[in-house]
Amino acid sequence: MVFRKTLLAVLIGSVAALAGCNSSSNDVDDKTTTLPTSDYTNIIDRAGNPDALRDYDEYDNLKYNAFVDNGAWHGHLLPADTNGYGAFGGIMQVTQEYANFMSGQTFDKLHLLDKTSGNVIDLANATANIYSTPGALVQILKTDQVEVQMFLRFVTDRTSLVETKITNLTSNDLDLELSWDGELLQNAYEKPNDSGGVTTQTIAEMYPEYKRTISATDNGIKINFSDMKDNWAIRNDSDAEFRVTRSIPTITAASGLTFKSVTAAEIDEHESMTFYTAYSNLHNAKEVQSETQKVQAILANPSSYMNKSQARWDEYLAKGLTNAEATPEQARVGVKAMMTLNGNWRSAAGDITQSTVTPSVTARWFSGNLTWPWDTWKQAYAMAHFNPDVAMDNIRTVFQFQVQADDEIRPQDEGYLLDVVTYTKPESRGGAGSENWNERNTKPSLASWAVMEVYNALISEFDRKDDAQAFIDEMYPQLVAYHNWWLNNRDHNGNSIPEYGAAVDPAHNTSKAEGNEIYVRVWSASNLTDPSFGFDVSKVELLPDAPNAAGQSRYKIISMANYNTLLDNKEGFDVGAVSNGAKTATSWESGMDHAARFGEIYDLSRVNSSGDPEMDQLGRYANEHYGFDNTLTQNGEVYAYTDSSAVNLAKLLDARLDWEVRFAENRTNDNAPSGTLLGFSMLQESVDQASYMYSDNTYLAQMAKLVSPGVSAEGDVKRFTEHATFIKDYINTCMFDEGTNFYYDIRMVDKHGQDSAYEKNGIMCAGKPLVERGQAPDGWSPLFNGAATQEYADRVMDVMLDADKFDASTKYQAKGISFPTASMDNPAYEANIYWRGRVWLDQFYFGVSSLDKYGRADDAVRIANDLFNNAEGMTGDGAIRENYNPETGAVQGASNFSWSSAHTYMLYRGFFK
């Protein structure tokens, strides 16, 4: 770091005047705090030395797992090596929608100088005991002259507090100069390059508009930031600040991105002095004003705040660790899950008026206070048992933005829950704008499942009956409205079995003035504006994109009729990649993005984008089922089928139609063309959604009996009970395939778009089970939700325990994890594919719970044990991940992932007994 000499001179000349203020007889308060200890130390690796603002791993996670707690918006790391001793300087800063590193490990590092001898007391040479507990970071550094104890806790939802205790180990009084210095990170990222070196880009180069300035405050510093928006990495307002405030007088010089603070201290022989440092990450001037006042109160009585933080964690662990039969390793995993969920808790900020829980504070696209319904149901279900207030607030955050009848954008969606809500609303909703807000789809409804778990936990585990009653009274009308929305807006054929689909949204339909028609974008070597191809060419647009490597141009195909024409003739049109916004929204709505049942299977376009001929899953499927010759010929960088004859391509088209997804418009007035457009349904009834709706009806019927007299629920018990009974009969009549012993989605039209409804056992089924797209975890959703018959459950469980299908921990001994997101013999399976191979712990938990519920408890415990033993880092100090490789147990996806942690906690709590 470089300081102006005049500033250094002022510091040095002023230190002497502070000596009398800082002494062993002049501590901040005379109350004591306890050095953090725990049976659960170093559960998660908290060490790290960030090199760049975006210091990412291969999955775009922040590389290090900062400790963050109490809903705060920043975190700290332990030092990675001796250079970082004396600081918790690796600071992760959570801005409105993203998290980044602000500084490396030496930021605000404590330096000690013995003024009598002129010698530096180098903490890098100290004997060190450095560790983390669930609620604290700790450094104990011992030299010949001093012992320095530092520990950090979060004491408000914006401020962390470090207690520093320096003990004089000598028989002489010590006259010390204490100093702290630091520098903000200057690199935006560092990435390995193909030549074996590292490519670096500075923040000034990558984000020239991002100005950061350190300046001195009373006994500390503040860091100011310029306004940053619309760059998909940093988002904050121009009055955001990060503040460091000490409990002892200091003199500070600051210049640009660097600072140095100095004070003097006198410590009598074998005596100690204690002081405190507060770190606050603040979004705006209003927060600066209010938190500055709080910090002054904290520094006047710091030990009480430290003790309250300790007591908070004591309560979490006392309530959360209830499985006395769990092994120490299993208990450590339970603690890790609790730590992760609490670490992803963000306190109220921006337009979100209460706390929430995000998927992952360290994952690029899941941080800030971004909130999804599907994640929330699982997070709240788990947190109900150790942090129920945050569990309730997480649910409230989702419902805060529930669409009302007078909504300015989508009044037709009354009761709808938005897919992602963020720190600020988009400008279209009167907010300051957002980069990640999404309302083009919702998520499956396990909301009532989560609310009932919170209700029961409040009563039975926390003795908070009044709070439980108030919560269920608050939530019940909103849950009913959401339930009704599914039946009103996503039930195309009106049979009370809703489909997944897509809301009215410009991402996949034209404007209202243009008819609100569905559209897709496709690459094709043919001139699709030629009427001979059968399109309504008035609704086909050639887009300005440059031709791709295969010589294809890009087109926008508008209208449902044109979309179906495309599906029926795709091979004849020489079509490459297709971007189908409605299909994307539909898969997002299911919570199982790009699953095989939504027609996702790699084809020739994937081969050409990856350069890997093994990616031609559709070609292999067509070869096996239709006799298609899938031999490939490579011409330069482009692969093509060797036999391009019409006869051979017709076989490929026949195979492709097994995987195509059709849609329909949902409108008022029984889908009359003149009715108001409500959205789009995939013409496919999904077995998991039907099963969730069965549960939803069951729980709503229970709630209708529990709500207070002033809450409208007349006739609801009968209505929801009857609907649950109908859905259960429908699932077991229409969605089970006798030939393969498994439950599936069912088509509402056949592969050529023709109605496929038929009657069976007095029930009109919308279509046949969709066996062609293989087996996946949605097939055991009727078991998890209790809708399966015992006979069918036994047959499904035999499939689940088949080592060539789902029981990967049996097939891949000592390394595999069972229940991949497609069976291992599914045509679209590959161990690394996001939702067609990797193990997701929600579907894993649904699987072992299904086994347990229907009589295979021993297998459930075995498979759960295999997860804990084989998942990379699970019983060690690795972060809980978004998903895992079923064949190797390798971590994949987002780190510190909430719903994985929620289900891991549920496994700890409910199994191993």
CATH numbers and ranges of domains, the chain? 5-315 (2.70.98.50), 512-664 (no CATH)
Query: For residue 574, what are its two tokens?
Result: 């020489």
pLDDT digits (tens, 9 = 90+) for 132-152: 999 999 999 999 999 999 999
Chain-centre distance for alpha carbon 775: 26
Amino acid letter for position 242:
F
- Distance between CA atoms of 715 and 393, rounded to whole angstroms? 29
Q: Which residue in 290, 1, 46, 282 sits closest to 152, CA to CA?
A: 46
Q: What is the DSSP letter of 378?
A: H
C-alpha to C-alpha distance for 828 and 837, rounded to whole angstroms: 9
Nearest to 453, CA basis, from 843, 881, 868, 910: 910
DSSP state of 735: S
How much is the pLDDT for 599?
A: 95
Q: What angle do CA 28, 30, 34 make, to 5 degrees?
A: 100
- The CA distance from 473 to 244, in Å, is 43
Secondary structure of residue 454 in the 3-state scheme: helix
Q: Which residues of 537-554 are buried (b: 16+ CB within 10 A; e: fewer)?
A: eebbbeeeeeebebebbb
Count of Cβ atoms closer than 10 Å to residue 425 Cβ? 18
Place of tokens 């329909």: 664
Q: Which of 4-13 are b and which e, b meaning 16 or more Cβ less than 10 Å from the residue's Cβ? A: eeebeeebee
Neighbours of 530 (CB within 10 A): 11
- Which amino acid does the sequence have at 458? L
Query: Which pLDDT value is given to residue 1?
Result: 46
Asked if the model's pLDDT at residue 28 lies above 60, the reply is no
Task: Read off the pLDDT band of 9 (50, 70, 90).
Answer: low
Provide mean pLDDT across the span 754-760. 96
Cα 617 to Cα 610: distance, rounded to the nearest angstrom:
13
Mean pLDDT calculated for residue range 340-355: 99
Averaged pLDDT, 711-729: 98
pLDDT the model gives residue 549: 83
Q: CA-CA distances (angstroms) from residue 798 to 353, 792, 803, 807, 854?
A: 47, 10, 10, 10, 12
For residues 18 and 41, which has the higher predicted lDDT (pLDDT)?
Answer: 41
Which residues belong to the active site?
A: 593, 882
Confidence (pLDDT) at 868: 98
Judge residue 119's burial from the number of C-beta atoms within 10 Å of its C-beta, 0-12 exposed, 13-18 middle, 19 or more buried.
exposed
Which residue type, as a one-letter code, is found at position 599?
G
CB 468 within 8 A of CB 462: no
Residue 7 has pLDDT above 60, yes or no: no
**What average pLDDT does the structure give for the chain?**
96
| pLDDT above 70 as % of the chain | 96
Residues above pLDDT 90, as percent of the chain: 92
- Residue 537, classed as helix, strand or coil, is helix
The pLDDT of residue 15 is 58
**C-alpha–C-alpha distance, residues 437 and 431, integer Å:** 11
Q: Is the pLDDT of residue 6 over 50?
A: no
To 5 degrees, how large is the angle CA 15–CA 19–CA 25? 155
Instruction: Dihedral sign for Cα 479, 480, 481, 482, please.
Output: positive
Decide: residue 283, CB within 10 A, 0-12 exposed, 13-18 middle, 19+ buried. buried
- pLDDT of 912 reads 87
pLDDT band of residue 29 (cuts 50, 70, 90) is: low
| Cα–Cα nearest to 146, from 115, 110, 112 | 112
Q: Which of 585, 597, 582, 501 is nearest to 835 (CA)?
A: 597
| pLDDT at position 11 | 58
What confidence tier does 448 reach under pLDDT thresholds 50, 70, 90?
Answer: very high
Rounded Cα gap, residues 603 and 615, in angstroms: 7
Given this model, what pLDDT does residue 146 score? Answer: 98
Distance in angstroms (rounded) separating the CA atoms of residues 210 and 208:
6
Q: Which residues contact 247 (CB under 8 A, 6 or more apart)?
A: 28, 219, 275, 276, 277, 299, 302
What is the tens place of the pLDDT at every residue in 279-330?
999 999 999 999 999 999 999 999 999 999 999 999 999 999 999 999 999 9
Tell me the C-alpha to C-alpha distance, in Å, between residue 274 and each of 28, 150, 217. 7, 10, 21
Strand, coil or helix: what is 896? Answer: coil
Beta bridge mates, 222: 215, 243
pTM, two decimal places = 0.96
3 state DSSP class of 127: strand
Structure-token pair, residue 1: 């770091």
Residue 3, pLDDT score: 46
608: pLDDT strictly greater than 70: yes
* 25 pLDDT higher than 60: no
For residue 245, what pLDDT is reported? 99
Residue 2 confidence (pLDDT): 45
The two structure tokens encoding residue 221 = 């510093």
Q: For residue 276, what pLDDT is reported? A: 98
Mean pLDDT of 203-228: 97
Q: What is the mean pLDDT of residues 777-782?
A: 99
User: Percentages helix, strand, coil for the chain, rounded to the nearest 5?
Assistant: 35, 25, 40
State pLDDT tens for residues 871-905.
Answer: 999 999 999 999 999 999 999 999 999 999 999 99
Picking from 30-34, 668-672, 769-773, 826-830, which range would have the lowest pLDDT averaged per residue? 30-34
CA distance 275 to 33: 12
- Cα distance between the two ends of the chain: 57
Here the tokens at position 277 are 């440092």
